[in-house]
Amino acid sequence: MIRLNNDTPTDILQNVKEGDMVTDTFSKTGLVETIESNDDGFNRIYTFHLVTGRTITVKK
**Reported pTM:** 0.92
Q: Return the exposure string of 36-50: e unless at least 16 CB atoms fall within 10 Å of the residue's CB, then b.
A: eeeeeeeeeebebbb
Q: What angle do CA 46, 51, 57 make, to 5 degrees?
A: 20
pLDDT for residue 37: 96
pLDDT tens, position by position, for the chain (60 residues)?
999 999 999 999 999 999 999 999 889 999 999 999 999 999 999 999 999 999 999 999
Long-range contacts formed by 43-48: CB under 8 A, 24+ apart: 44/10, 46/4, 46/13, 46/16, 48/4, 48/16, 48/22
